[in-house]
Amino acid sequence: MSRHPMSYALDNLRLLIAHDSQDEAEQLMNMLRNAGRATRAQLALGEDDLLRALKGGAWELMLCRPSFGDGSFESAMAHLKRLGKAVPVILLENTFSAETVKAALLQGASGVVPNDDRDMLTLMVDRVVENLRLRKELQHSEIARHDAEKRLSLLMDQSRDAIAYVLDGMHIHANDNYVELFGYESADDLAGVPIMDMVSAADHDKLKKLLRSRAQDESQTQELECKGVNTEGNEFDASFTFSPSTYDGEACTQIVIRAGGVDENEMQERLHEMSQKDQVTGLFARKWFMDQLDDAVAEAAREGQLATVLYLRLDDFEQHQSSVGIDGADDILRAVANWLGGQVGDAKLARVDGEDFAVLLPVADTDEAEELAERLRAGIEGLMPEVA
């Protein structure tokens, strides 16, 4: 399942302004809105306002005065760090100089502008927002790659083929079939073993030629018919397929030795089943859920059966992900998925996007749907999974 789009849009910038003047802050909001730079903004006139805003929402940009009521730029940066909020901050400085800019940057500001220079502020907002967009796009791409590698790893473990990953001519991982084919005890024993050791000495020149060719162009897929050799020195006919891949985020070469007699229909069925499932949580994925939704709409039209769709999104998930990493965030998703599975019985449950879940089930009336939605919301709010 594709969890995120290829590009990350910031059409509705969530802006927090920590300011010492409500009138000036509202002028900033209006100026940025009129310029199309922000559509959702909130004002903090003191320390309590700021803390409530930081704890109650996910902000993408913060404008901050050196002091705002009983709060200060320094205390605001300390709160962001303590709460684990990765929010870029632009300081609206009274005295703009090399010294004040340097001091603010050392405190963690993303930019500094003179308080009365609106043109420079607009340019700085554009610059910071573009950096934020690129950072989030990269983050989403990393998550998508992480998911793809998990799916590939599962396929590799279930495959009847012998599969290994090689980096700089050395093995870095292999499935059980590959390990067994060459007579090793475990994949760990293969780590660091040269691919040259897997091929008969008579075929070393052919393998060296292929590896040199791959060094020039790693994007190609190549096959090598040769004699494989196991740890006992016994040789066997083998067809090695070399193709580009990644392992743990690092570019490498995948080697596949095709097993004889593979049932292609069985393989296609397995691939279809996997395409229906989310590899992180084990729940069904978006495509499956949309098919179930189509069926429910048809059933409602034919039989008048009322059903509800509950769409559940975890708040501040990106902040949690930044704090505990991708694997920790996956643990959170699994904890939520497991809890939901125990709550909704025979309802159709799926993970339909990154931090989004959906439930489809028949109900007697809208009150029943609303009660269930609130019960699930409150239950998730109270979950405290141990992560990272």
Helix locations, the chain, DSSP H: 22-34, 47-56, 73-83, 98-107, 118-158, 176-181, 187-190, 204-216, 264-276, 286-303, 317-343, 366-382
Say which residue the tokens 């509202």 belong to.
26
Both ends of the chain: CA-CA distance in Å?
25
CATH code of domain 266-382? 3.30.70.270
**Which residue, among 359, 353, 350, 355, has the nearest Cα to 332 in the 3D structure?**
355
pTM score of the predicted model: 0.49
- Distance, in Å, from the CA atom of 361 to the CA atom of 293, rounded to the nearest integer, reads 10
> What pLDDT is recorded for position 11?
60
Query: Same CATH fold, 161-261 and 14-141?
Result: no
Residue ranges of the chain with per-residue pLDDT less than 70: 1-11, 38-39, 150-158, 259-275, 304
CATH code of domain 14-141? 3.40.50.2300
* Domain 161-261, CATH number (from 3.30.70.980, 3.30.450.20, 3.30.950.10, 3.40.50.2000): 3.30.450.20
> What pLDDT is recorded for position 359?
95
> What pLDDT is recorded for position 266?
54
> What pLDDT is recorded for position 383?
87
The answer to whether 240 and 257 have CB atoms below 8 angstroms apart is yes
pLDDT tens digits, 92-115: 999 999 999 999 999 999 999 999
* Coil/strand/helix, residue 353: coil
> What pLDDT is recorded for position 64?
97
The answer to whether 333 and 355 have CB atoms below 8 angstroms apart is yes
Contacts of 249 (CB under 8 A, 6+ apart): 142, 145, 146, 149
Element holding 383 (H helix, E strand): none
The answer to whether 80 and 54 have CB atoms below 8 angstroms apart is yes
Q: Where along the chain do its domains lie?
A: 14-141, 161-261, 266-382
> What pLDDT is recorded for position 110?
94
Note the Cα 111 to chain centre separation in Å.
27
Beta partners for residue 139, in sequence order: none
